[in-house]
């Protein structure tokens, strides 16, 4: 079979998957306990966003991608132990209240 036998993803979907994999790789560089916590939080955050955000809301998805890349860069730092220092939480994905 050719390389096109798998699912076809849009450019944005590929960026999201790449970011997700990046977080999982970064989690493996931390202690086992911190790595598990990071994986759990990241998985929940991505799952939540996949259900709550309209796939056509490209501006918001691009914003989340930029924010996620910054958080991933921070997580890759040896000084960062876990996600608590990055303030990643599911509540952040909700619309700000006036």
pLDDT, tens only, 64-79: 999 999 999 998 888 8
Which letter, b or e, does each residue of 11-42 get, where b requires 16 or more Cβ atoms within 10 Å of its Cβ? eeeebbeebbebbeebbeebeeebbebbbebb
Please tell me the predicted confidence (pLDDT) of residue 78: 81
Is the pLDDT at 21 greater than 50? The verdict is: yes
Residues near 64 by Cβ (< 8 Å), separated by ≥ 6? Answer: 49, 53, 93
What are the boundaries of each domain within the chain? 10-87
Please tell me the predicted confidence (pLDDT) of residue 56: 93
pTM for the predicted model, two decimal places: 0.75
Please tell me the predicted confidence (pLDDT) of residue 94: 45
């Amino acid at each position: 079979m050719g390389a096109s036998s798998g699912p076809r993803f849009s450019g944005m979907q590929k960026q999201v998957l790449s970011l997700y994999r990046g977080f999982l790789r970064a989690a493996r560089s931390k202690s086992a306990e911190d790595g598990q916590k990071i994986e759990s939080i990241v998985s929940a955050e991505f799952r939540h966003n996949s259900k709550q955000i309209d796939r056509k809301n490209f501006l918001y998805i691009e914003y989340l991608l930029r924010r996620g890349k910054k958080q991933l860069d921070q997580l890759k730092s040896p000084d960062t132990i876990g996600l608590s220092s990055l303030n990643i939480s599911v509540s952040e994905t909700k619309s700000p209240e006036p």
